[in-house]
Structure 1
């Protein structure tokens, strides 16, 4: 999946200058209200120093350097609506561990106090190359009374090795991370499992078949192969443009053709690709179709694809025809899956059908959908040209994750729709 960080950078570009006190007084940390609400403040490359990125439990997000930021920073606390919120004194323990002969780095974040029943969650990364250590999401989970282990994926941050998107290797890393976290928090945790976002939706369930996990939670992931993801993205694009069933059929044939190239390591499949190109040649909209990769492949000459296609599109060991359903069928672990109703990057049609079918067949799966949200559970505004601008994480998403991991999910969570029956 394309990096979610790109949308965050675009959203940050509109942030305006702030009063001097907001730029100099804010300190990184997590601050809590007496009723359990919280805000996380972290340094971010998307926010010029001395500003910090903030994230509230209800999904409000932005930068302290924004003149409209809904908080004020004081000496050792944060004021929201004129009331002081105190810092949470997390216990943070750096860690290193070995996975498949590679040294990995991580950190265990534990809330204050001792609780032998406190849940423990390992955060499984998406496709981004940035480090999750020091990011908002680990602290947002810990602020809800959960111990959290975050680690740098191989080839990024402080972890050795080469960056890859090979699900089997990434699942081995995640499984080892959970084993490491359990050992570090021995006697200070209860149920332990995984949270995976985006590409982590492929990796976390697979990791749960490689080691003991008490739960798996997924946000905006796919129960479909990368090839199916590409097809569904293009179908979503033509539907958004109001182009009809003929256009859907054309992009489906294009996806089938590009899949042939990918599965053959760009050695064969060019006749099918040329046929798809001919079918689309007189369609003005064809030049604007992207998918995950098919649009770019279709616009490259065959001789260039034969020379550099594999290096350009297939250099990260992605398992193109990965059977996500097969991995889920192996799971008898409780699983939460949260869908973004208008996800352009990971369209939900196939995923929703697969999950509901598995739940109906007896799997202990809880499926929720947040309407009018895009990848990352982001609400957005839509411009006249159809482009979207991120506004916030939808209200209820972070709380749902926290409550479910603690085994206490009940009632309503913002505008979330529960698609499976309560258990």
Structure 2
């Protein structure tokens, strides 16, 4: 997530992806012999994962991270987060196959897991998955990881498949349909994707056998819509929604566009005017590009000289605005992907009694959380077992950030406590103690705040 512009250019619904989407032409370090979770001499964890180009990426359990590139002397130097700024960390790897490295002079040994690769039947297509369990014979909780809208293989690039097992929590990771080694056509049809997640849960349960303890879903971004829906279709002990939403994709585009204009200093009257354009885009795309273009074109022609127009972005409005009707229809495969534009997540939540953890970033531009927070608190106050957590100064992906000289956000790390929060909820069904600077609202606290 080097900057927001790079993120949104890579995926249509960029707010629904947990990290930078990779173009088909991008080279990665997938398959590098050094990839793995390493236990340092002091007992702490450092994960080495694939990245773009010739780089690797390290992550610590506290959320710190950096990109690693190899120097002429064989030492891998690090840059902080996605900023490209040297941070002073150095890694030396042992020979391939030894599972040894030195991180800032501290020796580390790669952790061994019980890993089973599999192919299983999703909703009409074969999907490629992987079960990763901590070594041993005892029961462990298992988290089924649900994709965001990104176009890369989760099996190749999701670091949680190592970070959580290193902390005693099993993971089932799979490539969504049309991505990686999975068959089928890419879609954003939530019902279909939820059916695939249910199939993944069944396969994880089958492979884990007697080792399967508590089992649940974790979904990031778009996966935050899918995970609760999947839990209404099968038995799940918990749901974790990371930087997800309880508003529809159309509402999400509207909220994002309004928030961006507000941050750019535009007045409420200007924002209200801009929302007419956003709503016209919504009518057009939600009709599968069949109706609404004439009104959109008329508004665009009338308003394009307004001072706010150049700052009108949103989640997908930006992609539609420059296009003629013919150009949009030529890009239909990118604009019409089965997205349930008016999806009602509240209907799902009213039917769901599974314990849930919702983790949100206070400064998330791509999935603005204000209305989602209000709805979650109302559900919790009504007795739903929903725990909500917010990390300050974090954006989409629960990434902390800094601003570069041009004002673009540069992600620096995950918030301290983010990984621990997911581990603990999967393991215990509740949060214990503090999690960095995160603020936690439990169901009991929500009920007390509402006067119940």
TM-score, normalised to structure 1, is 0.89
- Where does the alignment leave 5 or more consecutive residues of structure 1 unmatched? 13-24
> Which residue number in structure 2 is paired with residue 236 of structure 1?
259
What per-residue deviation string (whole Å, max 9, x for no partner) do you get for residues 292-320 of structure 1?
22233233234544x43644421x11111
Deviations 1:62-106 (A, max 9, x none): 233235335443453333454333321111101111122211111
Q: Please report the RMSD computed on the Cα atoms of aligned residues, expressed in angstroms.
A: 2.4
Q: Name the SS for the 1:172 alignment partner.
A: helix
Do 2:359 and 2:388's aligned partners in 1 also have CA atoms closer than 8 Å?
yes
Give the aligned partner of residue 321 of structure 1.
342
Question: 31, 41, 45: which one pairs with 2:38?
Answer: 31
Counterpart of 1:40 (choices 23, 27, 47) is 47
1:196-345 alignment to 2 at 5 Å? 196-277=219-300, 280-302=303-325, 304-305=327-328, 307-308=329-330, 310-314=332-336, 316-345=337-366
Task: Report the counterpart of residue 127 of structure 1 in structure 2.
Answer: 149
Name the stretch that deviates more: 102-111 or 279-288: 279-288
- Equivalent positions of 1:3-402 (< 5 A) are 3-6=17-20, 27-33=34-40, 36-44=43-51, 46-48=52-54, 51-65=55-69, 66-67=77-78, 68-74=88-94, 76-116=99-139, 118-135=140-157, 136-277=159-300, 280-302=303-325, 304-305=327-328, 307-308=329-330, 310-314=332-336, 316-402=337-423
Runs of at least 4 residues off by over 4 Å: 302-305
Q: Name the SS for the 1:39 alignment partner.
A: strand
Give the stretch that moved more between structures: 382-391 or 220-229. 382-391
Query: 2-side partners of 1:36 and 1:355: how far apart?
Result: 37
Q: Residue 64 of structure 1 aligns to a residue in which SS?
A: strand
The structural deviation recorded for 1:346 is 0.8
Contact kept, 8 Å, 1:111 with 1:145, in 2: the verdict is yes
Deviates more, 1:99-108 or 1:164-173: 99-108
Of 354-363 and 271-280, the range deviating more from structure 2: 271-280
Q: Deviations over 1:120-150 (max 9, x none)?
A: 1100000011111143121111111011100
Provide Cα deviations, 1:264-308, integer angstroms capped at 9, x if missing partner: 222222354245325523312302322122233233234544x43
Larger % of strand: which?
Answer: 2
Please give the alpha-carbon distance, in whole angstroms, between the structure 2 residues aligned to 1:361 and 1:47: 49
Give the count of matched residue pairs: 404
Q: Flag structure 2 segments of 5+ consecutive residues without an equivalent.
A: 1-12, 27-31, 70-76, 79-87, 446-452
**Structure 1 match to 2:439:** 417
